[in-house]
Amino acid sequence: MLYFRLLSESLRFALHALRSNKLRTLLSLLGVTVGIFSIIAVLAAVDSMDRNIKSELNGFDRNMIYLFNHSFGPTDVPKWKVEQFPEVTYDEYEYLKRNLEGLDKISYNVFTRSENVMYEGNYANSVNVSPCTTDNQFLDNVKVAEGRFFNESESNSGVPVLVLGHEVATSLFGEQDPIGKQVRLYGKRFSVIGVIEKQGASNFGMNKDSSVYFPVNFLRQLYGDNNDMVTPVIVLKPLSGVDMDQFQDEVVSKLRMKRGIKPTEENNFFVNLWGGLMDFIDNIVAQMNVVGWIVSGFSLLVGGFGIANIMFVSVKERTHLIGIQKSLGAKKRFILFQFLFEAIILSLIGGVVGMLLVSLIAFVATQFLDFKFVLSFSNIVIGMSLSAFIGLLSGLLPARSASKLDPVEAIRTGG
């Protein structure tokens, strides 16, 4: 009951400080508010970005391998040497497809520039074109809502067939059924054979809604293999349960053999593991969190000094009252906790305001931006815990000085 009474009295004194010295208290609490706002805003933003990326990449297998002449992450290979690496070829794709053991899916894709697609005067502009082989529908987690994806025979022969993203289909056909219709791409006629399910906006990678898929061999027949507009990549996925290290070593061994690389020579290609990309993203997110903590820590430091200033002034103003309390038998611990609780409550008020500001901005950002901003429960706990901790540290010295006051001297000085 004593501590409940202490807490209620501390709350009363804290609210009295807010009412009687509004400007001074406001300026002092501003540091805590800004500090908590900064830290939680950064944590929430990074956490939201991480969740959005992970949700988008959730359908991909961590064991997928991207084989081409660039690295997903930092590399020790000099840039000038990387620029001399040859691109992967369709012939190498076929070789790996025939000779790799434990292989589940493999696709030959090319990254290329956006194009416009036309149907009877209707245009879909800046469409992401994805020339690929048939297995890419499984590797890229493509979900077909209408029609179908192109098959192995169509892929090998390079038939001009097209699978449309939801936005592209809507732009070209509106409410019409697009299956079987003829559209123009690269100045050629393509038959629409499928439409992909609506995916929503993408914060990472390609947006499937504004994409089209067609056999890569059509593009190879049109422009050949030596084309500066395209960057080819071979995507592989092993069978479930296959030893990943062994499979990765086999991929390297087979491609080195195909390219005739000598044992003493280094690889002239990169084996990018999808799980490695996820680890790289986690590392970037962790670094962003650290930077956010460092920058926001300065605001919290200023806020701590503000709370300490309020408490020292409060001790001076209540010196007479402290003397009376001690003369009536109040112990040092009672006085110490009274001021500590008051400091913590003041700091928590600043923290709550900071958290409310983050919540407001999160709500507005989610409503008006194409980004799901999430303020998680863990971030709320971190914010309130930090507020309490700053209040505890800031109030410790003033509370100790109050608890050590001599009752007679305090009554005389305060009076």
Q: What is the C-alpha separation between 336 and 399, in angstroms, rounded?
A: 5
| Cα distance from N-terminal residue to C-terminal residue, the chain | 30
Task: Quote the pTM value.
Answer: 0.63
pLDDT above 70: residue 2: no
Q: Tell me the average pLDDT of the chain.
A: 83
**For the chain, which residues make up each domain, given as ranges?**
2-56+282-414, 86-268
Q: Find out whether 238 and 252 touch, Cβ atoms under 8 Å.
A: no
| CA-to-CA dists, residue 203 to 119, 141, 199, 256, 371, angstroms | 29, 16, 12, 35, 8
What does the block give as tokens for 81?
A: 């040497």
Q: What is the C-alpha separation between 294 and 92, in angstroms, rounded?
A: 48
Beta bridge partners of 211: 128
Give 186-220 pLDDT, tens digit per residue: 989 999 999 999 876 554 556 788 999 999 999 99
pLDDT at 250: 93
SS3 (DSSP) at 182: strand
Q: Find out whether 195 and 163 touch, Cβ atoms under 8 Å.
A: yes
Beta bridge partners of 185: 188
Give 66-97 pLDDT, tens digit per residue: 998 888 777 888 888 888 899 999 999 999 99
